[in-house]
A and B are shown apart, each in its own frame.
Chain A
Amino acid sequence: MSGVDLASVLLQQNGSGNATGNATNATAGNATNATAGNATNATAGNATNATAGNATNATAAGPTSETPLPDLISGLLGLDGFGIWGDAVAALLGAFLIANVMLTMTAVAGPWAKRKITAAFTDRIAVNRIGPFGLLIIVADAVRLLSKELIVPEGADRPAWDLAPIILPFSALLGFAVIPMGSGIQLADPETGLVFAFAAASIASLGLVMAGYASNNKYSMLGGLRSIAQNLAYEIPLVVTAASVVIFTGTLRMSEIVAVQSQPLIEAGALTIPSWFAFVNPFAFVLFLVANMAEIGRNPFDIPEAPTEIVAGYQTEYSSVYFVLFYLGEFIHIFLGGALMAVLFLGGAAPPVPALGFIPGFVWFVIKIWAFFLFTQWCRSAVPRVRIDQLIEIGWKGMLELAFANLVLTAIIVGVII
């Protein structure tokens, strides 16, 4: 799957064509990257179940100006008259679309973009022999990975071992339910959107621990334990830093957080700097960026995997479909991390200068999360991995204090000065 597909899906979705037909097309087209077709469906379905209720509630009471995606779909398909069932179908379709967009981006990022980016940093060319720019390597890789034997280690703790690779991508996809992606694309906009996103993202740790414990492998075990220690150490600074944004906005609702950032911060002639929180509070931005890198387990904090130390950590024993699911999960997590960065600090789907407003918001949103992805890959090429004890130390003795200091300072500034 490529960016072209992604764009076409979007265009079709925004246009007034036959939405159902388009959705089908998207699915068919996705066969290449959908990896475990089952898993995708299951994930999408789950996401919908979890969010459908929220979605309806939110639309009922929501003061938002933009129509949430399910309502849009419902309107397009004429499902308005079917009551709760109509809403459910519309929400399901919406979730399906979002999940597919994310999976498509993951498919581009995982087998292709990652290689190309790493190659650029290391003076190489990387995949260029299959298809234009080597893009068809995505297809080849999917076929290769899916056709491999699924090896189940002796003594694996079966239900947990099987569930772990499903939980990881699922939890990340779930987080996207509340992310406003611009151009009115948002599945649900509950009042507790921010908390929901963090809560959903942290489910991933459960998956990692399950994988580590159930694999019956010492390296996996170490990886699982490392991941839980790391997540404990970084979740708190992450949330506390996000809380400093909430102090500014006074709401947890994602759409409002974005809306607050749309005012210009400084206007100097033609140059307008929007009041993105990255500019309002760059300290919190850096703090959040670092904590986010640890949260998603990328360099310099990729210690749960740490290939040169503990082989591949929690995913050592996974092969074939399950490996693909882990792989997908990790990349969706990077994108979810990027999405949170975008919403909290980079003005969501807003263009950096109003003059560029003609480009759809969704494109800006995608650019922002890809920028974050690029940053993670850059770090991977240039920044050494810290040791587990140093990481915990940085987390508890450094980041946590800084996060709280930032919170207090922000509270003082907001409470006293403004």
Chain B
Amino acid sequence: MSLEDPEKEQQGALEGRSREDELADLLGERALSRDDHKNAPAFVIRPDEVQDVLFDLRDQAGYDFLSCVTAQEYEDRYESIYHLKRYDNPMDEVSVVVPTSKQNPVSQTAEPVYKTADWHEREAYDLVGIDYEGHPDLRRILLPETWQGHPLSLDYDQDRPQIVTLREHANPLEEDQRASGTGANAHSNTVESGAVDDAADSDTMYLNIGPHHPATHGVLHLKTILDGEQVVDVEPDIGYLHRCEEQMAQQGTYRYQIIPYSDRWDYTANMPNEWAVARAIEDLADLEVPEYAQVLRTMATEFGRMLGHFLAVGTFALDVYGDFTAIFMYAIRDREKVQNILEDLTGQRMMFYYFRLGGVVWDLPEPREEWFEKVRDFLDELPSALEEYHDLISQNEILQLRTVGKGMLPKETAKQYGATGPVARASGIDMDLRRDDPYGYYDELDWDVAVEDGCDNYSRLLVRLREVEESAKIIRQCIDLLEDWPEEERTIQSNVPRTIRPDDDTETYKAVEAAKGEMGVYIRSDGTDTPARFKIRAGCFNNLHTLAPMSNGEYIPDLVAALGSLDIVLGSVDR
């Protein structure tokens, strides 16, 4: 159909309306009304037609990427928003809004259409309390299963005591504290009960990997079923590091109080998080960013990406080599150099808080020449450092033996699971928001998107190493630009009012390319200076979802290597 016609797509930018009209035609009667967001057209549909509509949008209009599912509660209704994109053109967005009634918040699941909806809908059920009919395994995902109430619902009582009892300690005479009574529980605990059954079967063994395990990179719990040493099934159990980041953002003011916390989401590569928030709020409140600040942002973010990739490569090496490999320390050494540069620029080694709405907080440190020299020294040494990584890692035959062809994530599976970032690019998906949905100064610069077709652990490693090179290229161009920037035009912040109150009921979903994948932020304003709903779409969350298809049938060492190659940060997964 014409929607997939590439020429049509070219014209899409010119005649945006026609694209929306075509979508309206496609949906026909099923679109009850329009509820447009700032970033995309949004169609309101009935809760029992979700799969129908999404199938059409995926198969006929080409929206193969479910970027995010946002659930929220209004005074009069619940709402699930499916933010759809296309892998080949992430700027072509559409949102599907599914309102459900207060009394009976039941909505059809989107899981058969997009696998990634599985976890997103579990999160929506967990935090907001919408029941997804037909979901294969609707359980809490971030909070403990004994949790009472849904924290982001309007009537949630924060002071209610949460009594968490173990099943075997439950008093049969007392009321069951665990969440029950919803239709969801009919499906719950399938994997767990399955695990018990399998454990009884002498052929398999149930193994808890984590939450305290040397290779889980934080507090992650993998419920693993083994046949000998081969993984039959693995289910990540997350939420150990859940810190209510969304709620904290909802309590902070747009102007100052959200961005400092964004540094705590993905704390190995923080800069892109700040940009995700800044981009969403700037879109919401129509704030301009001076060009000079854009260059500073671009440069700082690429340094941030390097931080993440160095650590990712180092820890991946730890997972494959053993816990005393030299590579980890070499990676940390290079990371230290970047941290020193960023400390000079931002004043902090980890939680930078460099971004402000409408710009950045600081110009380059004085004396500028000294700092440029420091950066150039680092960039000049980087090729030899990367050469070392290649000697130690990518060219090592044993490592190739270990990683090539292991942890396979085929392109289609990656799309189904909503994988983004290096994980998607290592599966041959040529998508990078920096190029495809340009922001900052990226489209003015000369750099390449690193894509590999291997779909395996090795490809993911290579993509990261190549992205470090690309980041270096971007930084070099940025500092050249900054060096020649006329002194009188060095505006680091536009004029932003002290208090920002975006118009009532404005909604937007904006994403940036973080080190781990697409970092998206959905904001709905209610006319006050704090967001009414703040939803974080973390690349790590979706990438971790791909662990099960990647590691089924592999050995434990490959499961660990696959987990390492995903490069998840639990602060970002659990938020």
Contact = CB atoms under 8 A, between A and B. Distances in A.
Interface of A: 118, 121-124, 218-219, 222, 299-300, 302-303, 306-311, 380-390
Contacts of B398: 300, 383-386
Contact of A307 (B322, B326, B392): B322
A388 B321 contact: no
Contacts of A383: 321, 396, 398
Nearest to B398: A384
Contacts of A389: 229, 555
Given A118-B324, A222-B556, A306-B557, 19 more contacts: A122-B326, A218-B205, A218-B207, A299-B321, A306-B322, A308-B560, A309-B560, A310-B556, A311-B214, A380-B325, A381-B326, A382-B392, A383-B398, A384-B398, A384-B399, A385-B322, A385-B398, A385-B557, A390-B401
Contacts of A299: 321-322
Contacts of B214: 307-308, 311
7 closest residue pairs by CB, A with B: A122-B329, A308-B215, A381-B326, A384-B398, A384-B321, A384-B399, A307-B323
A218 B392 CA distance: 33
Contacts of A222: 229, 556
Nearest to A121: B326
B320 A385 contact: yes
Q: Which interface residue of A299, A310, A387 has the most chain B CB atoms within 10 A?
A: A387
A381 B402 CA distance: 17
A299 B317 CA distance: 14
A221 B317 CA distance: 25
B318 to A, nearest CB: 6
Q: Which interface residue of A123, A124, A219, A384 has the most chain B CB atoms within 10 A?
A: A384
Contacts of B574: none
Nearest to A377: B324
Contacts of A122: 324, 326, 328-330
Interface residues of B, number: 31
Nearest to A124: B329
A218 B204 CA distance: 12
Interface string B381-409: 00000000000100010110110000000
14 contacts: A118-B324, A121-B326, A124-B329, A308-B214, A311-B214, A380-B322, A381-B325, A383-B398, A384-B402, A385-B398, A386-B401, A387-B555, A388-B555, A388-B557
Nearest to A300: B398
A389 to B, nearest CB: 6
A285 to B, nearest CB: 21
Nearest to A298: B322
Interface string B304-321: 000000000000011111
Interface in B439-484: none
A380 B557 contact: no
B555 A382 contact: no
Contact of B323 (A300, A308, A386, A388): A308
A388 B555 CA distance: 9
Interface of B is mostly: helix
A110 B330 CA distance: 24
Interface string B347-359: 0000000000000
Contacts of A381: 324-326
B221 to A, nearest CB: 14
A87 B333 CA distance: 59
A123 B333 contact: yes
A262 to B, nearest CB: 37
Contacts of B324: 118, 122, 380-381
B402 A387 contact: yes
B10 to A, nearest CB: 47
Given A218-B205, A308-B319, A123 B330 contact: yes
Contacts of A300: 398
Contacts of B93: none
A122 B328 CA distance: 8
Contact of B329 (A123, A219, A384): A123
Nearest to B332: A122
Contact of A311 (B213, B322, B329, B399): B213
A303 B402 CA distance: 13
Nearest to B397: A384
Nearest to B207: A218
Nearest to B403: A384
Interface in B517-575: 555-558, 560
Contacts of B215: 308-309
Contacts of B399: 384
A311 B324 CA distance: 14
A300 B557 CA distance: 13
A8 B451 CA distance: 63
Interface string B81-118: 00000000000000000000000000000000000000
B402 A382 contact: no
Given A309-B560, A310-B556, A384 B396 contact: yes
A399 to B, nearest CB: 15
B571 to A, nearest CB: 20
A225 to B, nearest CB: 8
Nearest to B323: A307
A308 B326 contact: no
A139 B287 CA distance: 64
B396 A387 contact: no
Contact of B318 (A308, A386, A388): A308
Contacts of A384: 317, 320-322, 325, 396, 398-399, 402
Q: Which interface residue of A123, A300, A302, A385 has the most chain B CB atoms within 10 A?
A: A385
A386 B325 contact: no
A386 B402 contact: yes
